[in-house]
Structure 1
Amino acid sequence: MNEKKIRTRIENLGFEALSVCPPLTELSGSYLNNLTKLPNGESAKILNDNKTYLAAQIEPESEIKCWGIAADDEQIAIFSYGNHGSDCELLAWVKI
């Protein structure tokens, strides 16, 4: 996975909290794959449990929820969620 390309794409998405992308770590999809509220109101797991993703968690000081990033060579998913992945919501799902 091309971390530099992924970080640049994340920083250009327009989210203030992600204007400087944190270091990304390899994590398994099964660890990251929370039940997520989608823009259409339905909930689903959108990551592949069997894949490895470059991922990061951002804990903004002024917000209750964390931000999460999961990326592979094809896509980037940006989430917000509460403690232990609760109330997970998909904020962006973009092709690289």
Structure 2
Amino acid sequence: MGTICGADCSQCWMKEKCGGCAETGGKPFGGDCVLASCCRDKGQKSCAECTSCEYRARLMEEYNSLGIADMPRVEHLEPLNGGFVNLEYTLPSGQHIKFWKDANIYLGNQLEKLYGDRCYGLTADDEYLLVCEYGENGSDPKIVCFQRRPQYPQHKPKE
């Protein structure tokens, strides 16, 4: 199974449903992938053609600039399937909401809180970034920050 981002998909439990990002033209699971879109916009076939991923670096800086006191510094972001990260949140009004599309691929990570037994979940696409916290196996998720990302060209075309 070929990848665009360079991830090792050989051991993934969802690889049969995925179809492979290279094989599906950057639309594994039938949805959009932020990294495949970045490559396509730059006229590249894979992330390996970039000397450094400005997209990931910019997103990590956005997360690190939030100033969340007990969140470790974000140093790596992984491509994550929306169905895996699309937790359901209960708003103060009692309404239940999900933010992401299950078929899309986002960039994110899970970080253990510095103090406590919960984790932070990070998820982002070109438009929004989310920081949530949750217990074991994603239980009792709470929104820490959900915001629109800065409006600048996300993917610079290859010059």
Normalised by the length of structure 1, the TM-score is 0.88
Q: Which gives a bigger RCO, structure 1 or 2 (Cα 8 Å, sep 6+)?
A: 1
Question: What's 1:6 paired with?
Answer: 59
Matched residues in 1 for 2:69 and 2:114: separation? 13
Could you tell me whether the CA contact under 8 Å between 2:72 and 2:113 is conserved in 1? no
Question: What's 2:116 paired with?
Answer: 63
CA RMSD of aligned residues (A): 1.7
Q: CA distance change for structure 1 residues 14 and 41 in 2, over 3 Å: closer, same or farther?
A: farther
Matches for 1:1-96 after TM superposition, within 5 Å: 1=34, 2-18=55-71, 20-38=73-91, 40-96=93-149
Counting aligned pairs with the same residue, the percent is 27
- Bigger radius of gyration: 2
* Structure 1: tracts of 5 or more residues without a match: none
Letter in 1 for 2:62: R
Q: Provide the aligned length of Structure 1 versus Structure 2.
A: 96
Matched residues in 1 for 2:114 and 2:133: separation? 14
- Structure 1 runs of 4+ aligned residues shifted over 4 Å read none
Per-residue CA deviations over 1:46-71 (Å, capped at 9, x if unaligned) read 11112111010011242121101001
Normalised by the length of structure 2, the TM-score is 0.55
